[in-house]
Amino acid sequence: MSTCASVTHVTLPHRDSRWRAGEVHAPRERPAGARSTQPRRPMQPAQLLKALALSLTIGLAAAANAADPNETCMMCHADASAKGAGGKSIAVDAAGFARSVHGEMQLKCTDCHADVSADKLPHPEKLKPPACANCHEDAAARFAGTVHGKARADGRTIAASCRDCHGAHDILRTSDPASRTNHVNLEQTCAACHGNEALIKKANLPGGNIAGMYHDSIHGRLLHEKGSRQAMAPECTDCHGTHDIRAKSEKASRVARANIPATCGNCHQREKTVFDKGMHGKMLQAGNAAAPVCTDCHTAHTIQETTRPQWQLAVIGQCGNCHDDFISSYRLTYHGKVTNLGFANIATCAACHGAHDVRPASDPLSKVSAENRLATCRTCHAEAGPKFASWDPHPQPRNKERSAILYYTWIFMQALLAGVFVFFGLHTVLWAYRSLRTALARKRGNR
C-alpha cells in the first residue's frame, strides 16, 4: 500500500450532474435561448432544393433592398435547419445575437464577416475567420503572446482562439452571469479543453485533466457555493491570466515558479508576507531554483484545506521530496510511525517546524531553535520538563556521531536479536530434523 500522498479527489465521482467533461460549453443551466438548442435533422433532398430556391430569392431581394444587411443575412441564416453545401449548419440564432454585446451595439454581420458583400450573394461557401483584431487590437496583440496564441501561430489550430473562450454570435459581456467568461462560468469554459479527456490526449495538454482536479479543490468547491463565497473563489484566470496566459516555463508567466508566491499572494497576502520572511521565501528571493513555492506543498490544482488529515499526511511526503533523510529519521519516532499509519492528530513536520515561516534551527526565530524548542514541544506536551527537548525527533541509530549511546544500544540490540535467533534457529532446525527422522523410523518399524 502506498503512503497517503495520493491526490484527494474528495468529491469524485462528480455529484454535480450539471458538470461533465466535454459538455461544458452547454451547461444545462444556461438561460434558454442564450444559444441555439434546435435539434439537427439530416436534410432531405426536397428541403435542399427548397433552401437553394430560397437563397436565390433572397439574393435577388437583397440586391433590390439593402437597407438592413443583417435582415438580408437572416433570410437564409435564421432557418434553424439551414445547412451549407458541406452539410454543416449555417443557422445563426438571431435572438441570441440580438442579446449579445455585438447585437446590442447593432453591429452588422459584415463588420466581422468582412469578406461578405450584399452585392455578391450568395457569398462563397468558405469565409475567412472573423477578424476580431480589427476592433480588439490590444486583446489580440496580447493574445499572440499567450500559450494559446503561440500554439496557433505554430499551426496547432486545436489551441483556443477568441471564439473558443468568448463564443461567436452570442458573446456576452464578462459581467453578465451567462457569459462564458463570467467568473462563475470560466471553469466550464476552460474545461471544454482542459477537462476533456479526448482532447487532452489529442493535444497533449500539460497537467492532464486539470479542470477535474480544480473542480474538487478548495478553490473549485468554493466556486460552487453561492453568494459572497462564490465571488471570492479564484477560477482559472485568477492564477493564469486571460490574454496573458503563458506556459509556466516562461519567466513572465504568472505561474512561473518565481512568480507563484506573488500570484497566490494576490489573495493570501498574510501567508505571502510570512513566507517571504521564512527560509523558503528567502531561498526563492536569492534565485534558488530548488526553493519550494506555494504549489510544492499545496499543489496547484488539488489544493485542500490545511485542516484536512489527508492533506496533513500527504504534505509530509512533500517535505520529504527535498528532506528525505529527515523523513526517514522522523519515521523512527512515534510521531512518524503514527502518521505513517494514517493518523494526523500527532506531530507532523509543520507542527514543529512551522509552515510558511519555516526557518533553520540556527535562526533564533525558528520554532526549533535552541531557545524555542522546548516551547514548541510544550504546544502538545504541556507539562514537559526542562530536559524534554533533548529528545531527538530525528534519531539516527546508525550514526555514531549523532548519538553514541543510541548507536551502541542499536548495536547491542542487533547482536542480541541475531544471537538469539541464530542460536535457537539452528537448535530448532536440528531438533526438527532429528524428530522427523525418529518419527519416520518409528513409522517404518511399525509396518
Partner 1 sequence: MSTNVSDAARPETAPQSAAAPHAGRYYRRFGFIERLMHAGLMFTFIGCALSGLPLLFPYTGWGRALAALMGGFEGAALVHRVSATVMVIVFVSHIFQFLWRGLASGNILSVLWGPDSLMPQPKDIVDLYQHVKYFLGLGPRPNFDRYTYWEKFDYMAVFWGMFIIGGSGLMLWFAVPLSHYVPGWMFNVATLVHGEEALLAVGFIFTIHFFNGHVRPEKFPMDLVIFTGRVAEHELKEERPEEYARLVREGRLVQIETTPPSARAIAFGRAIGGTALVLGIVTIVLILYGLLVG
> What is the contact surface with partner 1 in residues (CB under 8 A)?
1, 3, 331-334, 337-338, 340-343, 346, 381, 383-392, 395, 397, 403, 405-406, 409-410, 413-414, 416-417, 420-421, 424-425, 427-428, 430-436, 438-439, 442, 446
CB of residue 381 vs partner 1: minimum separation in angstroms?
5
Nearer to partner 1, 58 or 313 (CB): 313
CB of residue 322 vs partner 1: minimum separation in angstroms?
20
CB of residue 368 vs partner 1: minimum separation in angstroms?
14
CB of residue 169 vs partner 1: minimum separation in angstroms?
57
CB of residue 344 vs partner 1: minimum separation in angstroms?
10
Nearer to partner 1, 207 or 419 (CB): 419
Q: Burial-class residue 382 by CB neighbours within 10 Å (0-12, 13-18, 19+).
A: exposed
> b vs e for 104-125, b when ≥16 Cβ sit within 10 Å of the residue's Cβ?
eeeeebbbbbeebebeebebee
Nearer to partner 1, 289 or 382 (CB): 382
Sign of CA dihedral 419, 422, 425, 429: negative
Nearer to partner 1, 147 or 314 (CB): 314
CB of residue 299 vs partner 1: minimum separation in angstroms?
23
Tell me the CA distances in angstroms from 53 to 72, 219, 286, one per residue in order: 15, 55, 73
Residues 6+ apart with CB under 8 A from 175: 182
Nearer to partner 1, 137 or 324 (CB): 324
> Torsion-angle region of residue 363: left (phi > 0), alpha (psi -120 to 50) or beta?
beta
Cell of 55: 437563397
Pairwise CA distance, residues 214 & 413, whole Å: 50
Nearer to partner 1, 85 or 388 (CB): 388
CB of residue 382 vs partner 1: minimum separation in angstroms?
8
CB of residue 387 vs partner 1: minimum separation in angstroms?
4
Nearer to partner 1, 226 or 443 (CB): 443
Nearer to partner 1, 3 or 306 (CB): 3
Nearer to partner 1, 151 or 346 (CB): 346
CB of residue 393 vs partner 1: minimum separation in angstroms?
9
Pairwise CA distance, residues 8 & 18, whole Å: 21
CA atoms within 13 A on the CB side of 75: 22
